[in-house]
Structure 1
Amino acid sequence: MNERRLHALNAGEPGQGPVLYWMHREHRARDNWGLLHAQGLALRAGRPLAVVYGLADAFLGATMRQFGFLLDGLRLVEAELSALNIPFFLLRGDPPEEIARFAGHHGAHTVVTDFDSLRLKRQWLARAAKALACPLVEADSRNICPCRAVSDKREYMARTIRPKIMRLLPEFLEPFPALAPHPVPWPGHGPANYFVAARAALAVDRSVAEVDWARPGTDAGMGMLRAFMAERLARYHERNDPNAGAVSLLSPWLHFGMISAQRVALEALRATAPAEARDSFVEELVVRRELADNFCLHAPDYDSISCFPDWAVRSLDKHRGDERPWLYGLDDLEGAATHDPLWNAAQRQMVRRGHMHGWLRMYWAKKILEWSATPEEALRAAILLNDRYQLDGREANGYAGIAWALGGVHDRPWAERPVFGSVRYMNFAGARRKFDVAAFVSAFGDARDRELLTAMR
């Protein structure tokens, strides 16, 4: 693998025991550069190889909707690894503490782990790096072009990061080698992972129902990819119409790292769809996703208005005292009890399915800004609802998207207006010009939403 994907997190000395791959973002056995690097180290040193996962009791407001999807996916990873003579250990408790304890007990040669741009994960990795006696090496298997290799600073917008990514794409968009059966067995007894007991013991919110349209695991994600390429990629130019069914629906599997964005790009570029559709999809998959990781890595205040560009902060401050004809609290928003039937239907889509159409996510967030007393209140509400209901919440893409919608991150100033100032505005009339709002409200709204829509005609 290209060693520019790697980043040393400490200066530890290799131990005499196994090589460990600490899985925490890339939840897959296939197409995983971190796991492949760990196996390469183990083979060269003649050591056993194991995968370890630290299951935290809570993670950024995730509910059983997200934890269930994760745990069911990890069971599939365990089975796939077992067939390759690679044990999987599910550890319970504080992840960096448990990983350091496990590595110390086994005299680990090296720990290889996943790159993650989120603040909490950076804290985990820093704590583990300090506690481990052996080397801790981070591998970026999330981004096709590694985040650290693309840029060492926060990029202003897509047009500034795009040429940097495109220059590196030929180097990094390469085929994956297969993960091989590991020839050195794990000494002693293998793990006993009680996934059912772990699920039952989690003290997380179980009131948000798990979804049935998205099955976890690499095979399910690749199945969705094949369906997208065969049935929807050719219509990708219709992706901003929530009724068109032209989007990939891959975000749950990409978010949980159950499929690789690099694998998705390789397959999409070979698809028989028109070149314009392939190129547009790869632009979204590569440039926009990798811009989000760049943002969160270099702006650790990504969930605060302090991350907004100066022009947006000044403009929003100027309009703090503007009259707001509609004000909604968190209960109203969560219950889809606003005067806007389209917003309500989008909120209901998210609550029911753990997914909201991409164009509507922008509209949804901007309306929260319009209906909140302050930008700070709007930001808190948007992040809380996104992370509670979306399968792909608690993700760099989500934080960057909300910061774009509310605070002009990766955008430019627009014509000044009340409340929004110079932050880009979106409205109901514009949605009606773009797609059949009535059809979407009919699909996801309730009787009250349909009545509201009728009254607006």
Structure 2
Amino acid sequence: MLTTQPPQKKQKVDDGSNSLFHTFLQNVENDRIKAATSVSEFKLNKKRIKNLTSTNDVPKWTESILYWMTREQRVNDNWSLLYAQSLALKNKVPLHVCFCLQKKFMGATIRHYKFMLKGLQEVAEMCETLNISFHLLSGEGKDLVPQLVEKFKIGAVVVDFSPLRVPLMWIEGLKKNVPNGVPIFQVDAHNIVPCWVASDKLEYGARTIRNKINSKLDEFLTHFPSVMKHPFTSKQKPEKTDWMEIESSLEVDRTVPEVSWAEPGYKAGMKMLFEFCEKRLKLFNSKRNDPTANALSNLSPWFHFGHISIQRCILVVKSYKGKHKESVDSFCEEAIVRRELADNFCFYNKNYDNIDGAYDWAKKTLNDHKKDKRQYIYTKEELEKSKTHDDLWNSAQIQLFKEGKMHGFLRMYWAKKILEWTPSPEIALETAIYLNDKYSMDGRDPNGFVGCMWSICGIHDQGWREREVFGKIRYMNYEGCKRKFDVAAFVARYGGKVHHKKSK
């Protein structure tokens, strides 16, 4: 799992005055130009693309191409947008991009929506400069996208890939509602090795998928071409977006505040990548499991919302291998193998967020110890408000609440203690997912689901020495954390207090 720790001060997005960062961005753009100034001159790997319909060819009557943006909310380094533009250029028609905004989505709060909307505003501005029509629509994509198809005589729809059930349901709805003869092409622009190419089955763990992914990196870890200014203009302009009205219409929890350390969008994400490579990458291998060290990438919010390309980040990080080989290797293991393993789990296991998705040995051991006496039992409300007897756990929960992020090592400890302090494994998993999705900037993500499933249900792990409550699930405790890092320093940073509660 990719682990990140937010910095303590608010990140300031550079306006170009920082010459080193400006040079960094220019070098990235030069890499695109070197690869190809137009996607029509670039050989796209067709294994990254799946045709979801029986129709292969774009019909002759087409007057435009549409990209329905969901998981990849960016213009640069986006295989989905690049493929859509290649189709539009080949057919000499305008290119449209749409995003269908739901007023509520899987428990996301105003914290998540504001980050997403600001990123989409940047996408809209970039599309306008590239002569690409951007449409922000409010409602269900399965209904709205077919309306766009009819209105603009769209001859093909390009969609993103996500392994989660709700986005998969969107695609199934779209397939039923799009007119016959209009092909739908799905592109995995999130994973470096496309999920369906990396493996055609549920993998047991990192050791079984690692070589399958690494052996294909030479083929898929390529540079990106540029998105060119589109030469064909739509006769009809998209409706102007009232961003304030869109935000005010949301039906979400507004009590969870925005985080101050991370600004949304491509440029902000690239600034974080630049700072990681220049300042923290050298510490990543040796200090990434120390919550008191500033050694992590901090990139997960931009990965989750698709504001920057993970593949771009790997290309950049790998350019530092001569200086920090061990750290580069460790980062690639987490950002490629572990992260793509999470997509594999969610894609091939439909019970990725409940106990039924656990391995048989884990389900048995959890059930065998389901009625074991718990020394402490906490309600969801007590956990949410950091009111336990454990000052380290409380501090981790405070970090999650305030910063929308928890250090990866502590997220494992945090989730395992929820198993120990709630009445059943089912309640523990539901509680961990609820808290992660409500507060974490990368909630509702395969990494988050797998992180909770690893901690509570032993997914991608093995059986350990049997003990009360946990059974054979890997155990973590306070004393073990003290041996790993300075617990007192972490607690002092976040102010987690001990709340006394009598043992059961």
Distance of 1:21 and 1:194 partners within structure 2 = 21
Distance of 1:36 and 1:189 partners within structure 2 = 21
Distance of 1:381 and 1:102 partners within structure 2 = 40
Contact 2:98 2:136 in 1 (8 A): yes
Pairing 1:48-87 to 2, within 5 Å after superposition: 48-87=94-133
One-letter code aligned to 2:429: L
Contact 1:104 1:132 in 2 (8 A): no
Asked if 1:328 is matched to 2:378, the reply is yes
**Superposed displacement of residue 95, structure 1:** 2.1
Corresponding residue to 1:96 among 139, 142, 153? 142
Q: List structure 1 segments (4+ residues) > 6 angstroms apart after TM superposition.
A: none
**Superposed displacement of residue 8, structure 1:** 1.4
Task: State the partner residue of 2:231.
Answer: 183
Residue segments in structure 1 that go unaligned for 5+ positions in a row = 453-457
**Superposed displacement of residue 92, structure 1:** 0.4
Task: State the partner residue of 1:45.
Answer: 91
Asked if 1:209 is matched to 2:257, the reply is yes
Task: State the partner residue of 1:352.
Answer: 402
Once the two structures are superposed, residues 194-225 of structure 1 have per-residue CA deviations (whole angstroms, 9 ceiling, x without a partner) of 11110111111100001111000010000000
Contact 1:350 1:389 in 2 (8 A): yes
**What is the TM-score of this pair, normalised by structure 2?**
0.88
Corresponding residue to 2:485 among 431, 435, 455? 435
Contact 1:239 1:246 in 2 (8 A): yes
Contact 1:17 1:107 in 2 (8 A): yes
One-letter code aligned to 1:299: N
Task: State the partner residue of 1:116.
Answer: 162
Greater relative CO (CA pairs within 8 A, separation 6+): 2
Asked if 1:378 is matched to 2:428, the reply is yes
Distance of 1:206 and 1:163 partners within structure 2 = 44
Task: State the partner residue of 1:455.
Answer: none
**Superposed displacement of residue 104, structure 1:** 2.3
**Superposed displacement of residue 190, structure 1:** 3.2
**Superposed displacement of residue 11, structure 1:** 2.4
Corresponding residue to 2:183 among 131, 135, 145? 135
One-letter code aligned to 1:4: K
Q: 1:357 to 1:28 in 2, by over 3 A?
A: same
Corresponding residue to 1:20 among 57, 62, 66? 66
Contact 2:133 2:237 in 1 (8 A): no
Task: State the partner residue of 1:256.
Answer: 305
Distance of 1:74 and 1:336 partners within structure 2 = 33
Task: State the partner residue of 1:421.
Answer: 471
Query: SS at 1:203's partner residue?
Result: coil
Query: SS at 1:113's partner residue?
Result: strand
**What is the TM-score of this pair, normalised by structure 1?**
0.97
**Superposed displacement of residue 40, structure 1:** 0.2
Task: State the partner residue of 2:214.
Answer: 166
Once the two structures are superposed, residues 273-294 of structure 1 have per-residue CA deviations (whole angstroms, 9 ceiling, x without a partner) of 3101111001100000000000
Contact 2:405 2:441 in 1 (8 A): yes
Which deviates more, 181-190 or 39-48? 181-190
Pairing 1:266-305 to 2, within 5 Å after superposition: 266-271=315-320, 273-305=323-355
Once the two structures are superposed, residues 36-56 of structure 1 have per-residue CA deviations (whole angstroms, 9 ceiling, x without a partner) of 000000000011001100001
Asked if 1:312 is matched to 2:362, the reply is yes
Task: State the partner residue of 1:192.
Answer: 240
Corresponding residue to 1:3 among 46, 59, 77? 46
Number of equivalenced pairs: 450
**Superposed displacement of residue 87, structure 1:** 1.4
**Superposed displacement of residue 98, structure 1:** 1.1
Contact 1:233 1:273 in 2 (8 A): no
One-letter code aligned to 1:308: A
Measured on the aligned residues, the alpha-carbon RMSD in Å equals: 1.1
**Superposed displacement of residue 439, structure 1:** 0.5
Task: State the partner residue of 2:4.
Answer: none
Query: SS at 2:215's partner residue?
Result: helix
Residue segments in structure 2 that go unaligned for 5+ positions in a row = 1-43
One-letter code aligned to 2:455: A
Query: SS at 1:232's partner residue?
Result: helix
**Superposed displacement of residue 445, structure 1:** 2.0
Distance of 1:17 and 1:199 partners within structure 2 = 32
Asked if 1:220 is matched to 2:260, the reply is no
